[in-house]
Amino acid sequence: MSHEPPQIQVLNAHEVEPVEVAPGITRRRLPATPWARGWMYDFAPGAQWPEEDVHEGEERYYVISGAFIDCGHRLGPGSYAVFAPGSAHRPRTETGARMLGISIPTR
């Protein structure tokens, strides 16, 4: 029996049960591999990440809808942010927003 991850994992992200991680913020954990993990966050209008998010590995996110304010940038739909290992941020939104993210652990 192989312990290797499957070559492909497919799902509808909207079918993943959202979990509240902070007031006004829900997360859907998406399939992961040993090389990366994915997630989708929904922020209600006025929500802010509860504390500074410090990255051990690389993190990336794509703004699907709404607008985030992060590290002095206004990020609307189609924006793509990449955070290097050791970086930190605390995203917030005035309007409500959704992001799709990928975390890449350090090796």
Whole-number pLDDT of residue 11: 85
Q: Is the pLDDT of residue 7 over 90?
A: no
The rounded Cα 44 to chain-centroid distance in angstroms is: 15
Query: CA-to-CA distance for 25 and 91, rounded, in angstroms?
Result: 11
The tokens describing 74, both together, are 């206004």
Residue 10: pLDDT band (50, 70, 90) is: confident
DSSP 45: T
17-104 maps to CATH 2.60.120.10 = yes
In the numeric block, which tokens belong to residue 64?
């699907």
pLDDT of 99 above 80: yes
pLDDT at 45 over 80: yes
51-85 per-position pLDDT tens digit = 998 988 999 999 999 999 999 999 999 999 999 99
CB atoms within 10 A of CB 36: 15
Task: Spell out the domain ranges in the chain.
Answer: 17-104
pLDDT score recorded for residue 2: 60
CA atoms within 13 A on the CB side of 45: 1
pLDDT at position 55? 87
